[in-house]
């Protein structure tokens, strides 16, 4: 007498589905572990030696450069091969009038990060994709032409560099209104402001695959007669 189950299709077999579920879960676990390590490699911060070598040899720089990147000029250039803009680390330039050692730069960046967290900038702004859009995205704020030489912010704050203009604005934002909305005074000290500006400059050097997408469009508007890039 033939077994009754023999004629049943494989699709109705419970053991088939059990085995499939086990294989799919196993494969997904391995894939996720591999992707985790791959991502860790991409997002871990480079060292000062990496940075110096990459700049000297014109090679690709770590996605997240060392804190000493604040000692360099940062440009944002269209990459034809990648189809979006990428940060380009240029020649050395003083930051608040000096060159920062790896230790000093790391400490300043750390102060900036703590200040950004303590004052909850993300409540209004977006940083690296996290936060709100009540106020301009800060991911590439350092590269905003409004803050560069010839832009309105240095003139408005009566300063000669991007870092000084930003630091002055951050200590007293309601004194320098440029948007329809005004940034409130958050009680940021002069030292904290330096840290925050270092944090913003470092963030602008991170290769974010062209995020935020609309950056160059808003910059074009600025160049063709807008009053501010946002």
Residues 114-153 that bind ligand HEC (CB under 6 A): 115-116, 119-121, 123-125, 134-136, 138, 141, 144, 146
Q: How far is the CB of 16 from ligand HEC (least distance, A)?
A: 56
Q: Which CB atom, from 78 or from 132, has the smaller least distance to ligand HEC?
A: 132
Binding residue for ligand HEC, selected from 61, 74, 166, 206, defined by CB under 6 A: 166
CA distance 52 to 31: 34
CA distance 222 to 181: 18
Cβ count near 114 (within 10 Å): 14
Q: Judged by CB under 6 A, does residue 219 bind ligand HEC?
A: no
Binding mask 3-42 for ligand HEC (x = CB under 6 A): ----------------------------------------
Q: Which CB atom, from 72 or from 222, has the smaller least distance to ligand HEC?
A: 222
The DSSP code sequence of 109-166 is: HHHHHHHHHHTTGGGTSEETTEE-SSS---TTGGG-GGGSTTSHHHHHHT-SSHHHHH
* Length of the chain (residues): 230
Q: How far is the CB of 193 from ligand HEC (least distance, A)?
A: 9
Q: Which CB atom, from 48 or from 144, has the smaller least distance to ligand HEC?
A: 144
Task: Report angle CA 68, 47, 107 to the nearest 5 degrees.
Answer: 45
Residues 182-201 that bind ligand HEC (CB under 6 A): 182-184, 186, 196
CA distance 128 to 137: 9
Helix (H, G, I), strand (E, B) or coil at 32: helix
Q: Which CB atom, from 62 or from 218, has the smaller least distance to ligand HEC?
A: 218
């Amino acid at each position: 007498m033939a077994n009754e189950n023999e004629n049943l299709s494989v699709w109705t077999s419970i053991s088939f589905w059990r085995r499939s579920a086990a294989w799919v879960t196993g494969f997904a676990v391995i894939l996720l572990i591999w992707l985790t390590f791959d991502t860790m490699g991409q997002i871990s911060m480079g060292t000062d030696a990496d940075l110096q070598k990459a700049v000297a040899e014109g090679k690709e720089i770590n996605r997240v450069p060392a804190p000493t990147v604040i000692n360099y000029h940062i440009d944002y250039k269209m990459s034809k091969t990648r189809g979006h803009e990428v940060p380009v680390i240029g020649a050395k330039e003083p930051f608040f009038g000096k060159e920062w050692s790896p230790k000093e730069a790391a400490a300043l960046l750390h102060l900036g990060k703590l200040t950004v967290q303590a004052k909850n900038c993300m409540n209004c702004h977006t940083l690296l994709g996290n936060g709100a859009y009540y106020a301009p995205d800060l991911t590439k704020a350092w590269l905003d032409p409004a803050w560069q030489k010839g832009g309105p912010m240095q003139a408005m704050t009566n300063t000669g560099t991007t870092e000084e203009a930003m630091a002055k604005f951050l200590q007293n934002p309601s004194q320098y209104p440029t948007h329809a909305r005004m940034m409130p005074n958050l009680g940021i000290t002069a030292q904290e402001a330096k840290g925050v500006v270092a944090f913003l400059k470092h963030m602008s050097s991170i290769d974010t695959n062209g995020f935020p997408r609309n950056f160059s469009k808003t910059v074009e508007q600025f160049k063709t007669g807008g009053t501010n890039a946002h």
